[in-house]
Amino acid sequence: MAIDKTLYNEESIESLSPLEFTRLRPGVYAGDTTYATQLLVEIFSNAVDEFRLGHGSQIDVEIKGPKVRVRDYGQGFIPNSFRDDGKTILEAAFSILNTSGKYREDGTYEGTSLGSFGIGSKITTYLSHWLDVYTYRDGEVEHIHFTEGVFDKRDSFQVRDFPPGTSVEWEPSEEFFTHPEVDIKEIKNLFKTIAALCPGLKIELNDNGNETTYLSQNGISDLVDEAVAGKELIKNRFNMKYENGKNKIDMVMTYTSNYALNLIPYVNTGLTANGPHISQIKSLITREFNKFFRDKKWLKEKDENLTGDDIQEGLYIVFNITAPNVGYDAQVKTRITKIDMTPFTGELSEELKTWFATNEKEIKAIADKAINARKARLAAQKARDSVREVQKKKEKALKFDSKLADCYSKDRKKCEIFIVEGDSASGNLKQARDNEFQAVMPVRGKILNTQKASLDKIQKNAEIMSMIQAFGLEIDLKTMKVTYHPDRIRYGKIIIMSDADVDGAHIKNLFYTFIWNFCPELIKDGYIYAGVPPLYKVTMAKKYYYLKDDAALEEFRKKNANRSYTVNRFKGLGELSPEETEETLIEPENRIIKQITVEDIQATDRLFDDLMGTAVVPRKLYIKEHSQEATYNAE
C-alpha cells in the first residue's frame, strides 16, 4: 500500500519554546480560559506566600477593566542581580519556565509555598499584551517590561524611605481568554477566603473605583460563621490549631441541620478537590466517632460500625494544612497526589477525643442523627433491591404514562418536551405543538417536594417516575441518584410550563428541586428550561400584542397613552386558545424560554436547603430579606 508522504514529513515534528507552547495551548497551565482570573490568582498567591513567610501584612490589588495590578510588601527580589545567562533574577522569575525560589524544603520558603512549579508568574507574562514588574528592596528599584511575553526593557533607580516588595501590572490578551478581564465574583470569594486562612493579612481591593477591605481576626471561624448561619445545631465547635515546625493545621468542625457533609479542604492556602489528605481525615473522623459511640453504648455490641456517610451527615468542616513537599497533578493545583499526613493524624485523633469528652451532650445529638442516617441507608438498600427486581421484569419497550403525547423525530437532540400542570393547559399544547419534535407531558398538581425525600419514596410517586422514564433517565444503583447518558436522553430541551402566578412558581420550584437533588447534571449541562407565558394580550385596532409581565404593560401604556386599546389578562395557561398557545409558547421564533443555569454550586445547594428543606428559620430570613421583591395582584 502506498503511503502519502504529504501527511508526514521532516517538518511534521515541531519543537516549541515555552512561550510559544503556552500561547498555543494556554489551558495547559491556566486551566479554564473563559476569564483571565488564573493570572491574578498566580501573582496574588506569590504575595500571599510572602505574608505567610512573615514579610508584609498587606496586599493591594487594583483592577481597571482588563488591567490588573498587585502590590505586596514582602521581601522583594534582589534588584539588578545578574545571572550567568545575562538575565537578572527578576527577569528570569517572570520569563523562564520552572524558575523559582520555592522548590527546596530547606530553601527560603521551606517547601510549603503554594507556588512550587515555577510556572505561575511566567504564564502571566506569556498570556498578556504587556507586563510591568517593579521590585523594591534596600532603597533600590529594578523595573522590567515585557511585550506579548517577550522581554522589552529594563531600568533601575534608587528611592528613599520606600517600603520593600513587588508590584506587578499586566493586561491579559483577548487572544487567549474569552473574557480578558477577571471574574470579579470569584476573586472576591478568593480574597474573603484567603483573609480567613491568613488572619492579620489585609487585602485592599480597588475594583474599577469600588474599594473593599478584607481582613479577618477570627480566621477560619469567620468562613464557618457565614456558611452555617441559621443551621448550626451545636454551641461548641471543634477548633484545632496545631503547629510543629513546618507542619501546621488549622481546622474547624461543626454540626448542622444539613443532610450532607460539607468539607472545604485547603492545603498551603489553596483550595483542593481531592487527594489523600481528604480521605485520611474523613476516615479518621469516622473511626474516632465510632469508638466514642461504642464506649458510650450508643452503638450496641451487635451493631455494625456506622459508615462514613452515616456519621458525616450534617458535619461542616474547613481546614487548612501547611505542609512541605506537597505533590500536585497540575498547575491549577486542585488535586493533591502526595502529602505526608503523619504529623497531623495522631494530634487530630487526640484533639477529637478531648472534644468528645467535654461535649458529650452535643456529640449524642450527632450519634442520634448518624444512627437515623443508617436506617435511611438500609431503607435505600431495600429500594435498590426493589429497583433491581423491577429492572429484571422490565420489557425493552418503553411504557410511558398514557398521557404523554410524544414526538416522532429520531433526532432526539432536536426534540423538546413540555412539562405542564393539568389537562386543560396540556390539551392546548397538544393541539398547537409540532408533533415531529415537540412532546407534551401533563402532571397532576404539585409534585412531591424531593429536598429530603429518599429514592424509595420517589419510586412511589407516579408523576416523577413517569418523568424519569419519559426523559430517558436511569437510576444508578450505587449512588441511588438519577443519571443520564447524552446518547440516551430523549429530549434536548426539557421545558417546564406553568401559570404566571404563585402556584405556578411553586410548581416550577418543586420541579427544579427534583432535578437538582437527583440529576443536577441536567441543569449543569443545559437541558432544563422555563417557559415564560404572556400575562397580557393587548388588542389595538386590528393588531394584538402579547406582553409578558406588568412592566411590559406599563411600558406599552406609556408609549400608547393617547390611543384606544383593550387589555386581556391571562389567569392561566388553560385560558389561552390553541392559536394563542402556538404563537406564544410553541413557535421557537416567538416564544420566550429561559435556560436554567447555576453559577455557584455551593450557594445553590444552600438556597435549595433553605427554601425547600425542613428548617423554618432560613426560609423566614430569606423571605424577610427579599420581601421587597414580592408583588401582589388581587385578580
Residue with more model confidence, 422 or 620? 422
Give the least confident one: 423-427, 598-602, 617-621. Answer: 617-621
Confidence of residue 626 (pLDDT cuts 50, 70, 90): very low
Cα dihedral sign for 282, 284, 285, 291?
positive
For residue 109, the model assigns a pLDDT of: 40
Q: Quick check: pTM over 0.85? A: no
Which class for 185: exposed (0-12), middle (13-18), buried (19 or more C-beta within 10 A)?
exposed
DSSP state of 242: E
Report the percentage of the chain scoring pLDDT > 90. Answer: 38
For residue 39, the model assigns a pLDDT of: 92
- Pairing relationship of beta strands 202-207 and 58-64 according to DSSP bridges: parallel
Is the confidence at residue 399, as pLDDT, over 50? Answer: no
List, for residues 221-274, the tens digit of each pLDDT value.
999 998 898 899 999 999 999 999 889 999 999 999 888 889 999 988 888 878
The three grid cell numbers given for residue 159, joined into one nine-digit string: 528611592
The β-bridge partners of 143 are 134, 155
DSSP state of 585: I
Is the confidence at residue 40, as pLDDT, over 70? Answer: yes
Give the residue among 167, 182, 171, 179 at the shortest CA–CA distance from 148: 171
Q: Which residue, chain included where needed, has cell 442516617? A: 373
Question: What does the alpha-carbon distance between residue 113 and residue 45 come to, in Å, rounded to a whole number?
Answer: 9
Q: Which amino acid is residue 401, in one-letter code?
A: D
Q: How many CA atoms lie within 13 A of 448 on its CB side?
A: 22
Question: What does the alpha-carbon distance between residue 243 and residue 344 come to, in Å, rounded to a whole number?
Answer: 9
Residue 201 — φ and ψ, nearest 5°? -85, 125
In three-state secondary structure terms, 51 is: helix
Question: What does the alpha-carbon distance between residue 410 and residue 417 come to, in Å, rounded to a whole number?
Answer: 14
18-214 CATH: 3.30.565.10
Q: Which whole number is the average pLDDT over 415-441?
A: 86
Is the confidence at residue 622, as pLDDT, over 50? Answer: no
How many CB atoms sit inside 10 A of residue 70's CB? 23
Question: What does the alpha-carbon distance between residue 47 and residue 166 come to, in Å, rounded to a whole number?
Answer: 8
Q: How many CA atoms lie within 13 A of 553 on its CB side?
A: 15
Q: Which whole number is the average pLDDT over 437-452?
A: 78
Question: Is the Cβ–Cβ distance between 128 and 94 less than 8 Å?
Answer: no
Question: What does the alpha-carbon distance between residue 400 and residue 490 come to, in Å, rounded to a whole number?
Answer: 12
Q: Which whole number is the average pLDDT over 190-195?
A: 92
List, for residues 309-350, the tens digit of each pLDDT value.
999 999 999 999 999 888 877 555 567 888 999 999 999 999
Residue with more model confidence, 294 or 400? 294
Residue with more model confidence, 255 or 389? 255
DSSP string for 302-357: TSPPPPHHHHHTTEEEEEEEE-SS-EESSTT--BEEE---HHHHHHHHHHHHHHHH
Give the residue among 425, 424, 406 at the shortest CA–CA distance from 416: 406
Q: Which amino acid is residue 510, in one-letter code?
A: L
Question: Is the Cβ–Cβ distance between 389 and 545 less than 8 Å?
Answer: no
Q: Which amino acid is residue 624, in one-letter code?
A: K
Q: Which whole number is the average pLDDT over 169-180?
A: 93
Give the residue among 127, 132, 131 at the shortest CA–CA distance from 142: 132
Residue with more model confidence, 514 or 184? 184
List of residues 6+ apart from 204 with CB closer than 8 A: 58, 59, 60, 61, 211, 212, 213
Instruction: Please give the CATH topology (third level) of the domain spanning 220-375.
Output: Ribosomal Protein S5; domain 2 (3.30.230)
Confidence of residue 367 (pLDDT cuts 50, 70, 90): very high
Question: What does the alpha-carbon distance between residue 43 and residue 125 come to, in Å, rounded to a whole number?
Answer: 10
Q: Which amino acid is residue 21, in one-letter code?
A: F
Burial 533-566 (b: 16+ CB within 10 A, else e): bbbbbbeeeeeeebbeeeebbeebeeeeeeeeee
Domain ranges for the chain, please list them.
18-214, 220-375, 396-533+576-598, 536-569
Give the residue among 217, 221, 225 at the shortest CA–CA distance from 200: 217
List, for residues 455-508, the tens digit of each pLDDT value.
667 777 778 888 888 898 887 766 667 788 888 899 999 998 887 666 677 778
For residue 108, the model assigns a pLDDT of: 41
For the sheet with 247-255, list strands across it.
238-244, 247-255, 315-322, 262-267, 270-271
**How much is the CA Rg of the chain, to the nearest whole Å?**
30
Give the residue among 140, 143, 119, 141 at the shortest CA–CA distance from 131: 143
Is 3.40.630.30 the CATH classification of the domain at 396-533+576-598?
A: no
